Chain A
Amino acid sequence: MSEVQNFKVTIDNITLEVPPGTTILNAARMIGGEVTPPAMCYYSKLQGSGGKCRTCLVEVSKGSEKDPRPMPKLVASCRTTVMDGMEVKNITSEKVLDARKGVVEMLLINHPLDCPVCDQAGECHLQDLSYEHGGSGTRYEFDRRTFEKEDIGEYISLHMTRCILCYRCVYTAEQLTERREHGVLERGDHAEISTLLGKSLDNEFIGNVIDVCPVGALTDKTFRFKNRVWFTKPVDAHCNCTKCSGKVRLWMRGDEVFRVTARKDKWGEVEEWICNDCRFHKKDVKDWTIEGPSKIDRHSVIGQGHYVGLKKTPILIDKVIGKNPKMLMDIHDVSDVNKPEIHLSQIQGPAHSDDFQKKDK
């Protein structure tokens, strides 16, 4: 059997050899860094994803060695496979940067500016994308589309106004769970993610749609409004789960587990899917074996806490003077926030005004 001839492809003047059938996006990911086009809908772990959001547009300045004509239009790099001798321009092309700016503007036409309320803020791909590639204003003058709020079960909350229709969650449900119960209804501007006739999503692995969602359309209801993402500390942990690998990322505050998600790689994609049981029901440190703080990109706001170790530095003053130092004020005597006896992480769903009143008594 003859060895398959690798294709030579040049992306932003960087040449590499990839096996035939590789998409331009995946070839660019092999190089990494700024050369990689952003992707909102493509997900390497989901078959058939991609080709919808158009953020990964690139310019092909030379089609292949045999046919060196450039492609007439910008192409979606997640759906276009490389040819031998292909030359691709991403950040070196003025046309691509301009088109991407337009795509971001299109995606933001109907996206509400409710980042202060949204739980995804801080780990939102659309936030990153618009910050890096978007313009500062919008030219759209009309009302944004709105939807009636729909309840899709006790674990996942759906905000259809924030959806960018990437179809990732649909593929996730199709490929991970036994039965897909949600999909995209209606057409065009009315298209919306929904379950037909108000069903709730409760398949075993359906919680993964939360991780897959690039925006805040699908969020964890058990974490809803509990804390901001960047104030919780990400910690890698595992447990013996019979249904999934049990390798997760815990988002903790003190010794409380506020949220459990799957671990994500540098492209923001889930490394291993986790089951609903691990995600929604194991909100106790005792359920987990903690491995250590997660590695967070230093440009991310999530890294603002600079958690490098889990061990607390020992306070040696009591050993030196032989007694505990006199406290001038215990902050918990005065402060209402972060009371040691209140466990926000234990409340099912978001906290309400009566949750705090109960605790005040």
Chain B
Amino acid sequence: MQKLTNRSAAVDRSPMTFSERIYIPSIMKGMAITVGHIFKKKVTVSYPEEKRPFSPVFRGLHILNRDEAGRERCTACGLCALACPAEAITMEAAERKPGEENLYREEKYAAKYEINMLRCIFCGYCEEACPKDAVYLSETLMPSNYSRKSFIYKKEDLLIPHPKTQDGAK
């Protein structure tokens, strides 16, 4: 049979020599590697006290954006849900009524908007698909929890604070 690589070697089945049989040289060799690591630089980070810097392209929890006047940018076009490979995003749209112009930027808006964080794989396709600059992935890690219910993020959980009424309220 033709070899795929040159790295394969035949198994050596000759009887062990005396130094191999007492194992001490092999043990010493292994211990040398182990002890050598004590003097090397630590690769682990003791997490809560020490934090690794995020990569500039890190993708964490989603936010729903507002415009300068504090109106919701999302118009429930469904492109994020269409782009989502994990089918994590669902929404229901509604028509803006007269008098709600200060709440919603467009004639149509997302009355309900939900991201199932159990499904989300944080690929960022929703951010890329959004034509209205409404959904962004922030640099926040998703908090862990014991119950599944807390992972269904609704519109109120995702919206950023209102720049006028809620600014600095957090």
Chain A contacts to B: CB under 8 angstroms: 114-117, 121, 224-228, 230-231, 301, 304, 328-329, 331, 333-338, 344, 350-356
A-B pairs with beta carbons under 8 Å apart, 18 shown:
A115-B77, A116-B75, A225-B76, A225-B94, A226-B93, A331-B116, A334-B152, A335-B90, A335-B152, A336-B92, A336-B114, A336-B154, A337-B91, A338-B90, A344-B92, A351-B92, A353-B97, A356-B112
- Is the CB of B126 closer than 8 A to any CB of chain A? no
Partner of A301 from the list B82, B90, B97 (CB cut-off 8 Å) is B82
Please measure, in the bound complex, the distance between the C-alpha atom of A354 and the C-alpha atom of B131, giving whole angstroms: 27
In the complex, what's the smallest C-beta–C-beta distance from B80 to chain A, in angstroms? 11
Within 62-118 of B, Cβ neighbours of A (below 8 Å) are at 75-79, 81-82, 90-95, 97, 100, 106-108, 111-114, 116
Instruction: Tell whether, in the assembled complex, residue A329 and residue B148 are in contact, meaning their CB atoms are under 8 Å apart.
Output: yes
Instruction: Tell whether, in the assembled complex, residue A356 and residue B90 are in contact, meaning their CB atoms are under 8 Å apart.
Output: no
- Is the CB of B149 closer than 8 A to any CB of chain A? yes
The chain B residue with its CB closest to the CB of A301 is B82
Contacts of B113 in A (CB 8 A): 337
Whether A352 touches B152, Cβ cut-off 8 Å, given contacts A116-B131, A230-B78, is no
Given contacts A117-B106, A228-B78, A336-B112, 19 further A-B contacts (CB under 8 A): A116-B77, A116-B106, A116-B131, A117-B77, A224-B95, A225-B95, A231-B78, A331-B152, A334-B152, A335-B90, A335-B114, A335-B116, A335-B152, A337-B90, A337-B113, A338-B90, A338-B92, A353-B94, A356-B111
Please measure, in the bound complex, the distance between the C-alpha atom of A333 and the C-alpha atom of B148, giving whole angstroms: 11
Contacts of A344 in B (CB 8 A): 92
In the complex, what's the smallest C-beta–C-beta distance from B93 to chain A, in angstroms? 5
Instruction: Tell whether, in the assembled complex, residue B149 and residue A230 are in contact, meaning their CB atoms are under 8 Å apart.
Output: no
Q: Which 7 pairs between the two chains have the least Cβ-Cβ distance?
A: A116-B77, A350-B95, A228-B78, A337-B90, A329-B148, A351-B94, A334-B152
Partner of A117 from the list B91, B108, B149 (CB cut-off 8 Å) is B108
In the complex, what's the smallest C-beta–C-beta distance from B73 to chain A, in angstroms? 10
Please measure, in the bound complex, the distance between the C-alpha atom of A351 and the C-alpha atom of B111, giving whole angstroms: 9
Instruction: Tell whether, in the assembled complex, residue A337 and residue B112 are in contact, meaning their CB atoms are under 8 Å apart.
Output: yes
Contacts of A334 in B (CB 8 A): 149, 152
Instruction: Tell whether, in the assembled complex, residue B114 and residue A337 are in contact, meaning their CB atoms are under 8 Å apart.
Output: yes
In the complex, what's the smallest C-beta–C-beta distance from B78 to chain A, in angstroms? 4
The chain B residue with its CB closest to the CB of A149 is B107
Whether A355 touches B94, Cβ cut-off 8 Å, given contacts A228-B77, A230-B82, A335-B114, is yes
The chain B residue with its CB closest to the CB of A336 is B112
Q: Max chain B CB contacts within 10 Å: which of A230, A304, A331, A333?
A: A331
The chain B residue with its CB closest to the CB of A328 is B148
Please measure, in the bound complex, the distance between the C-alpha atom of A115 and the C-alpha atom of B76, giving whole angstroms: 11
In the complex, what's the smallest C-beta–C-beta distance from A326 to chain B, in angstroms? 13
In the complex, what's the smallest C-beta–C-beta distance from A127 to chain B, in angstroms? 13
Please measure, in the bound complex, the distance between the C-alpha atom of A307 and the C-alpha atom of B58, giving whole angstroms: 35
Partner of A304 from the list B82, B107, B154 (CB cut-off 8 Å) is B82
Whether A115 touches B131, Cβ cut-off 8 Å, given contacts A344-B92, A350-B95, A356-B111, is yes
Contacts of B92 in A (CB 8 A): 336-338, 344, 351, 356
Contacts of A226 in B (CB 8 A): 93
Contacts of B112 in A (CB 8 A): 336-337, 356
In the complex, what's the smallest C-beta–C-beta distance from A266 to chain B, in angstroms? 23
Please measure, in the bound complex, the distance between the C-alpha atom of A231 and the C-alpha atom of B116, giving whole angstroms: 18
In the complex, what's the smallest C-beta–C-beta distance from A183 to chain B, in angstroms? 26
In the complex, what's the smallest C-beta–C-beta distance from A27 to chain B, in angstroms? 37
Contacts of B106 in A (CB 8 A): 114, 116-117
Instruction: Tell whether, in the assembled complex, residue B131 and residue A333 are in contact, meaning their CB atoms are under 8 Å apart.
Output: no
Partner of A351 from the list B95, B100, B107 (CB cut-off 8 Å) is B95
Please measure, in the bound complex, the distance between the C-alpha atom of A231 and the C-alpha atom of B94, giving whole angstroms: 16
Please measure, in the bound complex, the distance between the C-alpha atom of A334 and the C-alpha atom of B149, giving whole angstroms: 6
The chain A residue with its CB closest to the CB of B90 is A337
Please measure, in the bound complex, the distance between the C-alpha atom of A68 and the C-alpha atom of B111, giving whole angstroms: 63
Instruction: Tell whether, in the assembled complex, residue B95 and residue A121 are in contact, meaning their CB atoms are under 8 Å apart.
Output: no
Provide the B115-159 mask, 1 if CB < 8 A to any CB of A, else 0: 010000000000000011000000000000000110010100000
Instruction: Tell whether, in the assembled complex, residue B79 and residue A116 are in contact, meaning their CB atoms are under 8 Å apart.
Output: yes
Instruction: Tell whether, in the assembled complex, residue B94 and residue A350 are in contact, meaning their CB atoms are under 8 Å apart.
Output: yes
In the complex, what's the smallest C-beta–C-beta distance from B134 to chain A, in angstroms? 9
The chain A residue with its CB closest to the CB of B150 is A334
Q: Max chain B CB contacts within 10 Å: which of A117, A227, A337?
A: A337
The chain A residue with its CB closest to the CB of B97 is A352
Contacts of B81 in A (CB 8 A): 231
